[in-house]
Amino acid sequence: MFPFRPRILPGVEASVRCRHFSRVIELLPELQVARLDVAELFGRSAPLHVDLGCGDGSFLCEMAQQFPKRNFLGIERLTKRVEKVRRKAEKIENVRVLRADTLFAVRYLLPESSVETFYLLFPDPWPKRRHQFRRIFTRDFLDAIAAALEQHGVLRVATDQLDYFQQVERHQPCPPAISSCATVA
């Protein structure tokens, strides 16, 4: 079972494996576990920065405009947020957005050693004790990040929840493939 429900768009042939419409990547059923071809996706080879849980895309689009020689991929699970990002990024050439579960995308869709920087900004803190198992920041998550990062890659984490910050600290040191875990409280 996959953490998101891919949909076949009307008029798309079954033989089509992956297409992006207006810079939104749609995964079709037969491609659910194939790694993305980042150079083909962006039409160029450039350092890749990934915004995990990109929300409405404000940070993603701002960074893409400031650094036009880098590629920016936003990963967001919620369809309406993906639509907001798509609208904001229409005129920005170096932005793509992927509608998928974050851990699934990092673990199965991003090629190994392909990401220069990951951004995990203010993830859902799940403050109730009985919900904390849902938090994204786990050892499995760090292992998946480490596999996708380039050598000396960076994971930048920001949170305003002390409890979440302490959980991030408990996972220190980062796996050897991650040169630093920057945290902000």
Residues classed as catalytic: 124
- Could you give the CA distance from residue 32 to residue 6 in angstroms, rounded to a whole number? 8
Contacts of 87-93 spanning 24+ positions with Cβ under 8 A: 88/56, 88/57, 88/58, 88/61, 89/23, 89/57, 89/60, 89/61, 89/64, 90/22, 90/23, 92/61, 92/64, 92/65, 93/68
CA angle 114, 32, 158 (to 5 degrees): 50
Beta-strand pair 149-158/115-121? parallel
Phi and psi at residue 50, to the nearest 5°: -125, 125
- Token readout for 165 is 């910050």
Any idea what DSSP says for residue 111? P
